[in-house]
Chain A
Amino acid sequence: MTYKFDWAIVTSGKYFDWIVSGFYVTIKLSAVSIALSFLLGLIIAIMRMSSFHPVRWFAHGYLEFFRNTPLLVQIFFWYFGSYKVLPAVANDWLARQDFEFAAAVIALTIYTSAFIAEDIRSGVRSIPKEQMEAARSSGFSYIRSMQYIILPQAVRLTIPPLINQFLNLMKNSSLAMTIGVAELMYQARQVESYTFKGFEAFSAATLVYVAISFTITGLMTLYDKTVLRPLKGR
């Protein structure tokens, strides 16, 4: 059987619009989750290094738990499982919102933050401990030493693994289609099931994913070059 390519399907018209709308949702989903997971990852990393045992143990448990369960399970857990624990009023309210999107953000954020926390911790550990001692003896509190002395240096070292995590998060966002979030992969499948032109639909999706990846990598490199490198050179 010979396959007739029909690229017009994904370059114009209704199906093109679907791919574009999927692109927007993927960008929104990834951007929100990247920002939140970085923030949460930072907090968990700091908790993980705390000298107060219960806090450290909590962070440790959090890391192990969320790093070692499949993301798909977590997505289903937040979407379907939350129903069992939340009160009826909350469930009713959530059902009327865009809870599909919210559940995907929660799952992606929590999952990715566990990896980011470990990356940041490695970055911090590579800063000589004398820096912390010097900071503390200069009268900075633990939090302030972290904020002004350790983290700015550590985050710079963490840029390459962070790029990785952000790229992973963006690609993982495609799993959100399992709970009905109309992101890029969902729309590509949709185009396939309407037209049976799977090759074209998924090629288009692939190109878009690659484009987003390059943009993320580019932005992070730019941030490193313009914001962080001058800091270090000073």
Chain B
Amino acid sequence: MARKIGLFVLALTMVGAMCGAALAADTLADVKKKGVLVAGVKDSLPPFGSVDPNTKEFVGYDIDFVKYIAKKLGVKVEYKPVSSANRMPMLMESRIDLIAATMTKNPERAKQIDFSYTYFLTGQKFLTKKGTVKSLKDLEGQKIATAKGSTSEQNVAKAVPSATVLSFDDYPQGVLALQQGKAIAVTTDESILAGQLGKLEKNPATKGQYEIPEFAISEEPYGIGMRKGDTNFVKFVNDTILEMEKNGEAAKIFEKWFGPNSDSPIARGNFKITADKRGTE
């Protein structure tokens, strides 16, 4: 009998330990203790996240949000480059504290991680050679380039089932395939395409030859990704980005990277950061 009770107590302690481990995930406290916020960001995707060739520092829309959050926390930031495919595992393995890497919120992802409110809203469009694509019809049966592990890949397969989707490791390779005529279009969120179009426009050899046709195939709300159940941290990040909307910081950052004088001008329209649940349900 004593042994049985002993076993029972042991079992209870183990369950208790497991619950403890689950509850212990408090990134907010950890980050403050460490004094460093480790942010997973893109490193070759202007205007969201890229490395400035002159200063060797990370710059971009995502980066400015991370910077503001870190400043509010009173900690330093360490940037870790992530790809569309590895960012979720990196977060779940605690190798980064949050993801700010052009990440679309969707219900499947929301089952695995928690998202902040939408801090950027865009739609999936196509980058093409001028005049070649006017509607979705022109894409049927063609080769379309995109990046592996992205939502864009899944959306385009649904929107144009007859097309062949060529998935590359990243978007610049897709743009290269487009330039070489190996694909008729590159598809992903307008914001990313605007950055790629900006690069093409800067190059005298390709200036004026490419465009992003009007039509879109989806709405893409971006969220900052955090570990599942990390309630305090999620609340802190949400409060922070709401504050950024209120004090005009969010609009300023948008203007800096997407305003009329930027390399990738797009309209913010009536988008505002609000306590929304876009994309997660």
Contact = CB atoms under 8 A, between A and B. Distances in A.
Interface in B62-106: 85, 88-89, 92
B89 A198 contact: yes
Interface string B156-187: 00000000011111000100110011110000
Contact of B149 (A1, A80, A180, A193): A193
A178 interface: yes
Contacts of B89: 198
Contact of B167 (A83, A186, A196): A186
Contacts of B88: 196
A62 interface: no
A196 B167 CA distance: 18
A95 B168 contact: no
Given A196-B112, A198-B89, A91 B180 contact: yes
Contacts of A192: 85, 149
Interface in A54-108: 79-80, 83, 91-92, 94-95, 99-100
A83 B179 CA distance: 10
Contacts of B165: 180
Contacts of B181: 91-92, 95
A1 B228 CA distance: 10
A204 interface: no
B166 A189 contact: no
Interface string A182-200: 0000100110111110100
Contacts of A91: 180-181
Per DSSP, are chain A's interface residues mostly helix, strand or loop, or mixed?
Answer: helix
A179 interface: yes
Nearest to B142: A96
A177 B147 CA distance: 12
B92 A1 contact: yes
**Centre residue among A95, A178, A194 by max chain B CB count within 10 A:** A95
Interface in A168-223: 177-180, 186, 189-190, 192-196, 198
A180 B167 contact: yes
A190 B143 CA distance: 17
Nearest to A3: B92
Contact of B85 (A79, A83, A193): A193
Given A178-B169, A179-B168, A196-B88, A189 B180 contact: no
B13 interface: no
A95 B85 contact: no
Contacts of B177: 80
Given A180-B168, A194-B154, A189 B148 contact: yes
B108 interface: yes
A95 B108 contact: no
Interface in B176-226: 176-177, 180-183
**Centre residue among A178, A180, A194, A195 by max chain B CB count within 10 A:** A180
A193 B148 contact: yes
Contacts of A95: 143, 180-183
Nearest to B18: A2
Nearest to A80: B176
Nearest to B173: A80
B153 interface: yes
**Centre residue among B89, B154, B177 by max chain A CB count within 10 A:** B177
A99 B108 contact: no
Contacts of A80: 173, 176-177, 180
A94 B182 CA distance: 8
Contacts of B145: 180
Contacts of B149: 189, 192-193
B125 to A, nearest CB: 20
Contacts of B108: 194-196
A92 B165 CA distance: 18
A192 B88 CA distance: 11
Given A1-B92, A99-B182, 5 more contacts: A80-B177, A180-B168, A193-B148, A196-B109, A198-B89
Interface of B: 22, 85, 88-89, 92, 108-109, 112, 143, 145, 148-150, 153-154, 165-169, 173, 176-177, 180-183, 228
14 contacts: A1-B22, A1-B92, A80-B176, A80-B177, A91-B180, A95-B143, A95-B181, A99-B182, A189-B85, A189-B149, A193-B85, A193-B148, A193-B150, A196-B109
Which 9 A-B residue pairs are closest in the complex by CB-CB distance? A180-B166, A193-B149, A83-B180, A95-B181, A95-B182, A180-B167, A196-B112, A80-B176, A91-B181
